[in-house]
């Protein structure tokens, strides 16, 4: 297999990369990184010393590519130039990249912080409150920014939507927004109906019970 995605089926950032791969239709192999197994963990750190997932291995070009946004740009540049993840127009490309960063940094990151507190069993009410506040602020901004659009940056499905799908899906589990943000709710409905994301969600079902969610108040 030319393309190998080293991943975990519950990782939101891995979902982002998988959505892009399914959008392109490129064949790839998904390989589990089992951090709890010494051999798997050591092999992954040898592959990418910072140890994050996902990592894309392209055996045809002898390349290892890390960081989801870079992985997606890599796919478009070297394997799927017609994908449209990054528009050719510079202004449109900037808008896509901005939204990509918003979903990653201001939705995915605070969501992950809330979930991590439950997973670790820790007590950090201040940190969780800060994450909640950032999520709420992001919801409000996105509600206005996405008004009237089919996809995050307009009519085309882009890098920003690859980021939005896991971000909003998981965020709605820890700080629900469907009742208060109708534009975001309708957008998430469209994302969940998109075949690339629907397939990603279906593949995660066997391990969904492992998602720790939010610590009960």
- What domains are defined for the chain? 3-78 (3.40.30.10), 90-194 (1.20.1050.10)
What integer is the mean pLDDT of 58-74?
97
Whether the CA torsion 196, 201, 207, 211 is positive or negative: it is positive
d(CA 118, CA 116): 5
C-alpha distances in Å from residue 144, one per residue of 34, 99, 182: 40, 13, 10
Please check whether residue 92 is in contact with residue 153, taking contact to mean a CB–CB distance below 8 angstroms: yes
Q: What is the chain's mean pLDDT, rounded?
A: 95
Q: Is the pLDDT of residue 217 over 70?
A: no
pLDDT digits (tens, 9 = 90+) for 10-43: 999 999 999 999 999 999 999 999 999 999 999 9
Answering whether pTM is above 0.85, one says yes
Q: Is the pLDDT of residue 215 over 80?
A: no
Higher pLDDT, 212 or 131: 131
DSSP percent split of the chain into helix, strand, coil, nearest 5: 60, 10, 30
In this predicted structure, what is the pLDDT of residue 110? 96
Q: Is the pLDDT of residue 1 over 70?
A: no
What integer is the mean pLDDT of 121-135?
86
In this predicted structure, what is the pLDDT of residue 146? 98
| DSSP annotation of 69 | H
Q: Is the pLDDT of residue 203 over 90?
A: yes
What integer is the mean pLDDT of 183-198?
98
pLDDT digits (tens, 9 = 90+) for 98-113: 999 999 999 999 999 9
Please check whether residue 16 is in contact with residue 165, taking contact to mean a CB–CB distance below 8 angstroms: yes
pLDDT band at 210 (very low <50, low <70, confident <90, very high): confident
Nearest to 56 by CA among 21, 91, 85: 21
d(CA 214, CA 217): 9
Q: Is the pLDDT of residue 6 over 90?
A: yes
Q: Is the pLDDT of residue 211 over 90?
A: no
C-alpha distances in Å from residue 149, one per residue of 26, 39, 122, 159, 185: 27, 46, 40, 15, 13
Beta strands (DSSP E) in the chain are 3-7, 29-32, 55-58, 63-66
In this predicted structure, what is the pLDDT of residue 79? 97
Instruction: Give the phi and the psi of residue 108 in degrees, each rounded to 5.
Output: -65, -45
Q: What percent of the chain clears pLDDT 70, i.e. is strictly above it?
A: 96
Q: Is the pLDDT of residue 214 over 80?
A: no
Q: What percent of the chain clears pLDDT 90, i.e. is strictly above it?
A: 89
What integer is the mean pLDDT of 193-209?
96
């Amino acid at each position: 297999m030319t393309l190998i995605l080293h991943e975990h089926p519950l990782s939101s950032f891995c979902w982002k990369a998988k959505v892009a791969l399914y959008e392109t239709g490129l064949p790839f192999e998904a390989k589990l990184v089992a951090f709890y197994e010494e051999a798997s963990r050591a092999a992954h750190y040898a592959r990418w010393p910072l140890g994050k997932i996902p990592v894309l291995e392209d055996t045809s070009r002898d390349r290892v590519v890390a960081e989801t946004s870079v992985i997606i740009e890599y796919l478009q540049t070297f394997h799927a130039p017609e994908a449209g993840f990054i528009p050719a127009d510079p202004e449109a490309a900037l808008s896509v990249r901005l939204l990509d960063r918003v979903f990653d940094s201001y939705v995915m990151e605070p969501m992950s912080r809330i979930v991590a507190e439950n997973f670790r069993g820790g007590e950090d009410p201040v940190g969780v409150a800060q994450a909640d506040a950032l999520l709420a602020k992001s919801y409000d901004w996105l509600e206005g920014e996405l008004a009237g659009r089919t996809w995050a940056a307009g009519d085309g499905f882009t890098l920003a939507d690859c980021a939005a799908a896991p971000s909003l899906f998981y965020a709605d589990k820890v700080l629900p927004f469907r009742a208060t943000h109708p534009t975001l709710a309708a957008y998430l409905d469209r994302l969940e109906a998109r075949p690339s994301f629907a397939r990603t969600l279906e593949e995660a079902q066997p391990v969904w019970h492992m998602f720790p969610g939010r610590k009960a108040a």
